[in-house]
């Protein structure tokens, strides 16, 4: 398969594929002659993964590259690659400068929640700080987030993560890493979209639904009926 074939079959412009090759998101093809390279189905598969992560998952090129590199690192064994890829999935997130002290209301609430859920191991990881940042932002806006406000989120997510790990365990070993990356990233928009759809629908049915209705109904689902 030539580069142009990769482009045709994936729908990605050749210039973009060249860019991905340059950035190391896609391994080089077999250079048959000085002016022709041969690509395989594996390249196509990788290209589709990269595209999905970037376009649907909203990941940055840099973060995607980290994930790819971790997944391909031959000096690591399977679990190490797995962990490295998982770590790399968050590297695209912003890193705030302020790290609230352990005494803060935000940190107290988060720590309490994690302890209660049995997820205390993540303290000091980027994800933990994501959580603290979001809770801190809410508090600054006058929406205090104590544990009772937070608990429903953990309660919603806990069974889901069990399920997702089950799904992942159902893949053959050699597919697990790629599946983990794809499922971690691409299920995010599904979760978020369902949540917002839920908001619209729940508030519509809650506060009258016909015509000029209750609170967030009318325009919450416009152009529908």
Partner DNA sequence: CTATTAAGATAGTGACACTATCCCCTTGGG
Partner DNA sequence: CCCAAGGGGATAGTGTCACTATCTTAATAG
Site for DNA in 3-42 (CB under 7 A): 3-4, 13-16, 18-19, 21-22, 28-29, 31, 33-37
Angle at 114 between CA 108 and CA 120, to 5 degrees: 105
Q: Count H helices, E strands: the chain? A: 9, 2
C-alpha distance from residue 76 to each of 42, 80, 174 (Å): 21, 6, 14
Pick the binder of DNA from 27, 40, 45, 62 (CB under 7 A).
Answer: 62
- Interatomic CA distance for residues 216 and 219, integer angstroms: 7
Q: How far is CA 162 from the centre of its chain?
A: 17
Residue 108 found at the interface with a copy of itself (CB under 8 A): no
Eight-class DSSP state of 181: H
Site for a copy of itself in 124-143 (CB under 8 A): 124-125, 127-128, 130-131, 133-135, 137-138, 140-143
Residue 217 found at the interface with a copy of itself (CB under 8 A): yes
The footprint of a copy of itself on this chain (CB under 8 A) covers a number of residues equal to 97
- Interatomic CA distance for residues 64 and 59, integer angstroms: 6
Angle at 2 between CA 52 and CA 50, to 5 degrees: 15
User: Which does residue 150 bind out of DNA, a copy of itself, none, counting CB within 5 to 8 angstroms by kind?
Assistant: a copy of itself
Instruction: Name the residue nearer to DNA (CB basis): 6 or 84.
Output: 6
Instruction: Name the residue nearer to DNA (CB basis): 8 or 80.
Output: 8
Residues within the interface to DNA (CB under 7 A) = 2-4, 13-16, 18-19, 21-22, 28-29, 31, 33-37, 54-55, 60-62
């Amino acid at each position: 398969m030539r580069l142009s074939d990769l482009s045709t079959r994936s729908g990605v412009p050749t210039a973009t594929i060249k860019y991905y090759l340059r950035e190391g998101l896609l391994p080089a093809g077999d250079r048959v002659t000085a002016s022709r390279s041969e690509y395989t189905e594996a390249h196509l598969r990788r290209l589709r993964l990269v595209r999905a992560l970037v376009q649907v998952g909203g990941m940055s090129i840099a973060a995607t590259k980290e994930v790819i590199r971790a997944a391909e690192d031959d000096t690591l064994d399977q679990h190490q690659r797995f962990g490295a890829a998982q770590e790399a999935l968050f590297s695209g997130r912003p890193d705030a400068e302020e790290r609230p002290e352990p005494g803060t209301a935000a940190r107290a609430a988060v720590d309490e929640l994690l302890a209660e859920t049995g997820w205390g191991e993540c303290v000091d990881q980027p994800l933990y700080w994501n959580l603290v940042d979001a809770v801190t932002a809410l508090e600054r806006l006058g929406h205090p987030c104590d544990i009772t406000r937070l608990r429903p989120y953990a309660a919603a997510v806990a069974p889901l993560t069990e399920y997702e790990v089950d799904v992942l365990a159902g893949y053959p070993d050699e597919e697990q890493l790629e599946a983990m990356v794809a499922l971690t990233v691409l299920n995010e928009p599904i979760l978020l979209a369902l949540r917002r759809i839920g908001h619209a629908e729940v508030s519509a049915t809650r506060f009258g639904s016909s015509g000029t209705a209750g609170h967030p109904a009318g325009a919450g689902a416009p152009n529908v009926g």
